[in-house]
Amino acid sequence: AVIIGLSLVAFAYFDLGADKQHLTSKLDSAMLAETQWVADELARNSMNSAVAHFKEIFSTIGHVHDFRIADPHGTPVFQTCRVESLPIPALPQKRVKTTQTFVRDSKSYRLVDCPVTTSTGEEVWLRNIGSMQDIDEHIAYLRVNNYAMVPALLLLALLGGISITHILLRPVIRLAESAKKMSSEDGRIQFDEDFEVDEIAYLTKALNVAFGKVQVTAEKMSQFTADAAHELRSPVAAIRL
């Protein structure tokens, strides 16, 4: 029962990990698609025209995540207002697209770094920052619900373990009761062999064979004692006469 309960707890824990990984993958997909759109705009335009275009777009329709456009040294050239004061990790050492998670002020963020070369040959970094607050809140909610079910699951596992143990031990209990009720009128020991469990039936047969051999030995000893007493009775009677 304890093993079953611990297994349920471990399953709940790993299930939460799988849920978080799935939600993080969905966030990555959205961020990568958005990053690719902005990167394409940068590649088709010069830095100044692209920045002016982004400022107009973001101020008009808003944006899902926060962006920074940085030079090769990491100095921001353009950034949305929500991330101006947010410290983020340093740029990758290699100019390859990367994703990572970082934490600031106990809040988790997802970061996509994408190297871009503009139409005028300028090498810049496009950095897309997405908050994982919704994911963390969802996982925290599931964790509270799952862990609240742990006592009930442990109780259910305990009751199930007791029931299974009782079912498994029922043939053994029956065998013990059969031994208590065994008739001793003729001095013979014989167990019932009609058990549904093959192992118990095999055990009873083995016990019957063993006790049968003991019974044969006991009968021989009893017969020997009777014969010896009879043989000794006649000489003793003759001496008395």
**Which of 62-66, 200-204, 237-241 shows the lowest per-residue confidence on average (mean pLDDT)?**
237-241
In which band, very low, low, confident or very high, does the pLDDT at 194 lie, cut at 50, 70 and 90? low
Q: What is the pLDDT of residue 112?
A: 92
Q: Round to whole Å and give the CA distance between 130 and 111.
A: 6
Average pLDDT over residues 168-187: 66
Long-range contact list for 22-25, CB < 8 A, 24+ apart? 23/135, 23/138, 23/139, 24/101, 24/110, 24/132, 24/135
Tens of pLDDT, residues 146-166? 777 767 777 777 787 788 877
Strands in 66-70's sheet, in edge-to-edge order, are 76-79, 66-70, 123-131, 107-117, 98-104
The SS3 call for residue 207 is helix
Q: Round to whole Å and give the CA distance between 119 and 45.
A: 5
Q: Judging by beta carbons within 10 Å of its beta carbon (0-12, 13-18, 19+), is residue 91 exposed, middle or buried?
A: middle
Q: What is the pLDDT of residue 88?
A: 83
**Which of 41-50, 87-96, 196-205 shows the lowest per-residue confidence on average (mean pLDDT)?**
196-205
Q: What is the pLDDT of residue 111?
A: 92
In which band, very low, low, confident or very high, does the pLDDT at 181 lie, cut at 50, 70 and 90? low
Mean pLDDT of all residues belonging to the chain: 77
Tens of pLDDT, residues 203-220? 778 877 777 777 778 778
97, two tokens = 């697209």
Task: Identify the residue whose tokens are 């940068």.
Answer: 42
Tens of pLDDT, residues 79-91? 776 655 678 888 8
